[in-house]
Amino acid sequence: MRLLEQRILEEGQYIGNGILKVDSFINHQVDPYLMNEAGKEFAKLFMNISASKILTAEISGIAPAVSAGLHLGIPVVFARKHKPITMPDQVLLTLSPSHTKGRTVELIVSPEYLGAGERVLIIDDFLATGKTIEGLIRLAQIAGAEVVGVGALIEKTFEEGRDHLESMGIHVESLARIESMSEKGIVFHKS
Amino acid sequence: MRLLEQRILEEGQYIGNGILKVDSFINHQVDPYLMNEAGKEFAKLFMNISASKILTAEISGIAPAVSAGLHLGIPVVFARKHKPITMPDQVLLTLSPSHTKGRTVELIVSPEYLGAGERVLIIDDFLATGKTIEGLIRLAQIAGAEVVGVGALIEKTFEEGRDHLESMGIHVESLARIESMSEKGIVFHKS
């Protein structure tokens, strides 16, 4: 998606340790127009997978997931990292290592909103090693749901998260694929 | 907003202690269509305040804020509750008591995305006592920005958060105003 690639080139900052800072349009400040365009693009890419629900992880996955849900006409569930008091005692929970947090986080979904028979599309801001997305896949599996697609705004292809997802037979799409990044600049994967 | 009131009557659950559970369409599962309609409604209500930026708090404020930002054509900043490693060392930070968490949380914004001269519209899921929104107002004030409006999806009028905001001269709007709730049901404020 050219609009997203351009924005990454203009405003993305490589801050070392494999981390791309995109806080000016995704992770802290959000560009609603860009998110809406991304949602349309996800809807186009996943039009034929008959997803019944989108699953994402708080926090930065919410904006692209809700945009995609709007254009696909399906609800979104965001996995919580802390169990709120409104959630029942019995929950679906998995642990996931967070690269940017440097520790393990919990991903929690209420069985009220993720159940057997659902066809789940996972949407997140980044696809890097794929650890968070694998956590979401485990949650869907515990619920008895089927994961039919994974979409990310930005993929770091050099962290190879896609390989494992595709080996599970999952349809993977990302809107900007970064092949390498360093102080010298960002190189996109030529598709 | 009739669509939201209907949804609250159909799916909202009073779980005691002044807490309304709306996890099936706002706080855990999100209805993207409803959020988009809410965004349109906020855009209509705040059309004339010349806001330059929306400020919200993670997590549940993000979906309505991004929808409002789309329809108003302005960016959204969401205050973080934990400082991510992409944020500079010097941040805008305030403390806010959380009723549903039973403890004080931090609200953190990077000065990169909230500065002097901004006209800020605050959007959040709930307006109850107004403590979270007052925290966001303090952040805007530290940044030298002006708060020109506050919009909430659901207001609990009996917690009187609106009074304090209006006494500060702020334009307050909410899309569903709950006057009372109990095991017997939910009563909306007649406007």
* B11 at A interface, C-beta within 8 A: no
Full set of structural domains in chain A with CATH: 34-176 (3.40.50.2020)
Paired tokens of A81: 């990292």
Which of A24, A66, A113 comes nearest B28 by C-beta?
A113
- At residue B49, φ and ψ (nearest 5 deg) are -95, 0
- Extract the tokens encoding B75: 């960016």
Task: Tally C-beta pairs within 8 A across A and B.
Answer: 128
CB A77 within 8 A of CB A57: no
Cα–Cα dist A131/B42, whole Å: 37
d(CA A31, CA B175): 23
Query: How many Cβ atoms from other residues are within 10 Å of residue A166's Cβ?
Result: 12
Residue with token string 């059309």? B47
CB B188 within 8 A of CB B166: no
Residue A180: how many other CB atoms lie within 10 Å: 14
Cis peptide before B154 (omega within 30 of 0): no
Give the span between the Cα atoms of A142 and A94, in whole angstroms.
9
Q: What Rg, from alpha-carbon coordinates, does chain B have? A: 16
In tens digits, what is the pLDDT along chain B, a chain of 191 residues? 999 999 999 999 999 988 999 999 999 999 999 999 999 999 999 999 999 999 999 999 999 999 999 999 999 999 999 999 999 999 999 999 987 677 899 999 999 999 999 999 999 999 999 999 999 999 999 999 999 999 999 999 999 999 999 999 999 999 999 999 999 999 999 86
- Inspect the interface and report whether the beta carbons of B77 and A27 lie closer than 8 Å: no
Positive or negative, the Cα torsion across B101, B77, B51, A5? negative
- Closest chain A residue to B81 measured between Cα atoms? A59
Per-residue pLDDT tens digits for A119-178: 999 999 999 999 999 999 999 999 999 999 999 999 999 999 999 999 999 999 999 999
How close, in Å, is residue A183 to chain B by CA atoms? 15
